[in-house]
């Protein structure tokens, strides 16, 4: 049977008024039967196979779909479900990232869980959190960034160091438990969280916070080193919990700092104001607050900048009047296009894959002032369409 771990301390201190709000928010109960319901598992399967139906893991699961869903439902109802082993690989987009893919069966469970608990947390998210949310996304985030750039003089852009490797399991569990009052649902969350323990261990450089003793003997230092942390990049649950983990920070910026112009995409966030002094003060406050979540910022290169110099965000340099694609993004796609032409000539890929890649890139970069760039790149590398 599953066990719901205590996690061991280190929780963020309540903000003014936060504890009162927590007392008025009644945790949701009777969630687990909905997670295990046949209709929910079927829906989860269809979501998990989206875009992957032609791949072997999804096809194998589909061959005995009813039997596989029955077995999965039995394991969940008996609370004997155990996740499989992750398949990990690196991508460069543009920086090196370790992606950990769960087995298809586990991805069905991730969808089944998120189908039920995501709406609970979605109600508490601020409007200007854009990652991994229905109706949001990169293009709406870019639009909002440009709106703020037109209304304010300065921007402070921040990003978290090693965000997914650094997410603290104890703090995440405590955050989930505030809204989920169903013990079985919490145990399932715990099982999935624990399944990713150590996956990103080599991607994390140890950081000590106030109250930690960096000694290697005993006491808080040893506890800090051994605190479970990290969510696999690639899990649906990891993407969702990444928003949950920083939700309190979003409300801190809006309610305590009273920043009217703020947006976040995963662990990249921007604060706007009309004077540098305000942004310098907010920078210190954000560093202090994120330390309570055991997170740090790339602070050495962060300072308020005039919006007229452009704000680097989601692959674009956003100005009040226009947007330009980052040079590295254009160079990367030019290289990718040349490589695809070689692979196509050698029969390693088909026309469909090339077309999908080009259309996907064009659909993204068209949200900037890139007509000349698209013409230059695609003109120098003609595409075979039939």
| Long-range CB contact pairs, 321-325, < 8 A, 24+ | 322/368, 322/369, 323/142, 323/146, 323/367, 323/368, 323/369, 324/368, 324/369, 324/370, 325/365, 325/368, 325/370, 325/373
pLDDT of residue 217: 46
pLDDT of residue 163: 94
Nearest to 196 by CA among 101, 281, 78: 101
**3-state class of 376 per DSSP?**
helix
pLDDT of residue 184: 96
pLDDT of residue 221: 54
pLDDT mean over 326-331:
82
Written as six digits, the tokens of 176 are 């989930």
| 193 Cβ neighbours under 8 A, 6+ residues apart | 169, 172, 173, 231, 241
CA distances from 26 to 20, 120, 147, 177, 248 (A): 12, 11, 36, 11, 17
Written as six digits, the tokens of 352 are 């469909």
Q: Is the pLDDT reported for residue 333 higher than 50?
A: yes
Kindly report which listed range (156-170, 209-223, 242-256) carries the lowest average pLDDT score. Answer: 209-223
Span 26-49, pLDDT tens digits: 888 899 999 999 999 999 999 999
Span 275-295, pLDDT tens digits: 999 999 999 999 999 999 999
Q: Exposed (0-12), middle (13-18) or buried (19+): which is 44, by Cβ within 10 Å?
A: buried
CA distances from 132 to 21, 138, 322, 372 (A): 26, 9, 25, 31
- The Cα 108–Cα 365 span in angstroms is 32
Rounded to the nearest integer, the mean pLDDT of the chain is 85
DSSP string, 28-53: B-S-HHHHH-HHHHHHHHHHHHTTTT
pLDDT of residue 92: 72
Q: Is the pLDDT reported for residue 265 higher than 80?
A: yes
- Alpha-helix residue ranges (DSSP H) falling in 28-126: 32-36, 38-49, 56-63, 65-77, 104-122
Whether the CB-CB separation of 230 and 197 falls below 8 Å is answered with yes
pLDDT band with cut points at 50, 70 and 90 for residue 145: very high
pLDDT of residue 108: 97
pLDDT band with cut points at 50, 70 and 90 for residue 21: very low
Q: Which residue has the tokens 């690639």?
A: 234
Whether the CB-CB separation of 165 and 141 falls below 8 Å is answered with no
pLDDT of residue 179: 94
Which residue did the predictor score with more confidence, 247 or 54? 247
* End-to-end Cα distance, the chain: 56
Q: Is the pLDDT reported for residue 9 higher than 50?
A: no
pLDDT band with cut points at 50, 70 and 90 for residue 386: low
**3-state class of 59 per DSSP?**
helix
CB atoms within 10 A of CB 36: 23
pLDDT mean over 147-154:
96
Written as six digits, the tokens of 364 are 């993204």
Task: Please give the backbone phi and psi of residue 102, each rounded to the nearest 5 degrees, phi first.
Answer: -80, 155
**3-state class of 373 per DSSP?**
helix
Written as six digits, the tokens of 362 are 């064009």
DSSP string, 145-193: HHHHHHH-SEEEEEEBTTHHHH-BHHHHHHHHHHHB--HHHHHHHHHHH
Q: Is the pLDDT reported for residue 24 higher than 70?
A: no
pLDDT mean over 332-345:
81
Which residue did the predictor score with more confidence, 198 or 220? 198
Span 93-113, pLDDT tens digits: 667 778 888 999 999 999 999
Percent of the chain with pLDDT over 90: 56
pLDDT band with cut points at 50, 70 and 90 for residue 6: very low
Q: Is the pLDDT reported for residue 12 higher than 60?
A: no
Task: Please give the backbone phi and psi of residue 272, each rounded to the nearest 5 degrees, phi first.
Answer: -115, 145
Kindly report which listed range (215-219, 237-241, 345-349) carries the lowest average pLDDT score. Answer: 215-219
Q: Is the pLDDT reported for residue 247 higher than 50?
A: yes
- The Cα 373–Cα 367 span in angstroms is 13
Span 165-201, pLDDT tens digits: 999 999 999 999 999 999 999 999 999 999 988 788 8
Kindly report which listed range (16-20, 169-173, 269-273, 313-317) carries the lowest average pLDDT score. Answer: 16-20
Nearest to 27 by CA among 215, 165, 154, 176: 176
pLDDT of residue 206: 83
pLDDT of residue 14: 38
Which residue did the predictor score with more confidence, 152 or 54? 152
pLDDT of residue 349: 76
- The Cα 223–Cα 213 span in angstroms is 9
* Reported pTM: 0.83
pLDDT mean over 80-84:
94
């Amino acid at each position: 049977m599953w066990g719901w771990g205590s996690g061991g301390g280190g929780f963020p201190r309540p903000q003014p008024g936060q504890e009162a709000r927590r007392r008025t928010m009644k945790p949701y109960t009777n969630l687990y039967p909905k997670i295990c319901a046949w209709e929910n598992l079927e829906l989860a399967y269809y979501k998990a196979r989206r875009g992957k139906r032609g791949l072997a893991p999804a096809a194998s699961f589909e061959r005995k779909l009813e039997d596989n869903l029955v077995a999965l439902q039995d394991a969940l109802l008996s609370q004997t479900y155990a996740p499989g082993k992750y398949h990990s690989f690196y991508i460069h987009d543009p920086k090196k990232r370790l992606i950990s893919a769960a087995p298809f069966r586990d991805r069905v469970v991730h969808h089944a869980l998120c189908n039920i608990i995501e709406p609970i947390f979605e109600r508490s998210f601020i409007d200007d959190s854009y990652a991994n949310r229905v109706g949001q996304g990169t293009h709406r985030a870019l639009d909002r960034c440009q709106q703020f750039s037109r209304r304010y003089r300065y921007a402070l852009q921040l990003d978290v160091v090693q965000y997914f490797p650094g997410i603290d399991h104890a703090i995440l569990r405590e955050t989930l438990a505030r809204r989920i009052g169903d013990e079985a649902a919490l145990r399932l969350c715990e099982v999935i969280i624990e399944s990713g323990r150590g996956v990103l261990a080599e991607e994390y450089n140890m950081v000590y916070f106030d109250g930690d003793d960096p000694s290697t003997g005993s006491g808080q230092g040893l506890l800090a080193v051994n605190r479970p942390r990290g969510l696999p990049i690639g899990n649906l649950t990891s993407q969702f919990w990444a928003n949950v983990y920083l939700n309190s920070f979003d409300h801190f910026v809006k309610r305590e700092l009273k920043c009217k112009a703020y947006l976040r995409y995963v662990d990249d966030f921007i604060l706007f104001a009309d004077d540098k002094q305000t942004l310098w003060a907010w920078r210190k406050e954000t560093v202090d607050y994120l330390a309570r979540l055991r997170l740090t910022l790339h602070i050495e290169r962060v300072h308020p900048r005039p919006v007229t110099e452009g704000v680097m965000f989601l692959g674009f340099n956003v100005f009040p009047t226009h947007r330009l694609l980052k040079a590295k993004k254009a160079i990367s796609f030019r290289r990718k296009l040349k490589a695809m032409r070689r692979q196509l000539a050698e029969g390693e890929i088909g026309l469909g894959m090339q077309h999908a890649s080009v259309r996907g890139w064009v659909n993204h970069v068209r949200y900037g002032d890139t007509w000349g760039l698209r013409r230059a790149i695609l003109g120098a590398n003609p595409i075979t369409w039939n």
